[in-house]
Homo-oligomer: A and B are copies of this chain.
């Protein structure tokens, strides 16, 4: 027995796929799902919300990761917090692809997606502001804002490439993109002759060995 919520999501995506988002009414969705309008609006609040599964969770996890950052280690915190977003999308798989198709074609949904991304950016910005303030330096607000925008933008570039099927190894591209953005950021740099390697747990050792050799050869 599936829950009402699941049936509504399923019915909505199916109908959106068949006849488009605008042409689909909430009444059609609830009819196919076998529930009432009341149930729909109680569960989602708005028609748009069927598509965007609760990112309060994700937002909370990002905040949690960011709060463990320090002015010395904040670049890693930013990288991993952005990685949480990428992880979320990769795990959603087919659902993320369906949503991408919709957000590309329906302006209202595109705006909604952008707004949620800016929600993440806001978290990055606020934490970055605190870290940069502790490090000292001029124009903390501006640089915190720029840092947050760059991290989110870099993430989005990689994410969109994956959504368009233009890459098979999003994590590799993600790491490169984050390096582009974060190496220029202020703070203590790795001493020459010292290489800091960040490993994602669950990764196959053989897969990372070439990268390790490469890093140590420089």
Which A residues are within 8 Å of any B CB, using their own CB? 107, 110-112, 114-115, 118, 139, 141-143, 145-146, 149-150, 152-154, 156-157, 176-177, 180-181, 184
- CB-CB under 8 A from A154, the residues of chain B are 142, 145-146
Query: Shortest Cβ distance from A153 into chain B, in angstroms?
Result: 4
When all copies of this chain in the complex are counted, the total is 2
CB-based nearest B residue for A139 = B180
Would you list the 4 A-B pairs with minimal beta carbon distance, nearest first?
A149-B153, A149-B149, A111-B111, A142-B157
Pairwise interchain contact B157-A141, C-beta atoms closer than 8 A = yes
Pairwise interchain contact A153-B157, C-beta atoms closer than 8 A = no
CB-based nearest B residue for A166 = B141
CB-based nearest B residue for A142 = B157
- CB-CB under 8 A from A181, the residues of chain B are 146
- CB-CB under 8 A from A145, the residues of chain B are 153-154, 156-157
A16 CA / B150 CA spacing, docked (Å):
35
Q: List 17 A-B contacts (CB under 8 A).
A: A110-B115, A111-B112, A111-B115, A114-B115, A139-B177, A142-B154, A142-B177, A145-B156, A146-B150, A146-B153, A146-B154, A146-B180, A146-B181, A149-B149, A149-B152, A149-B153, A184-B184
Query: Shortest Cβ distance from A111 into chain B, in angstroms?
Result: 5
Pairwise interchain contact A180-B115, C-beta atoms closer than 8 A = no
- CB-CB under 8 A from A156, the residues of chain B are 145
- CB-CB under 8 A from A149, the residues of chain B are 149-150, 152-153
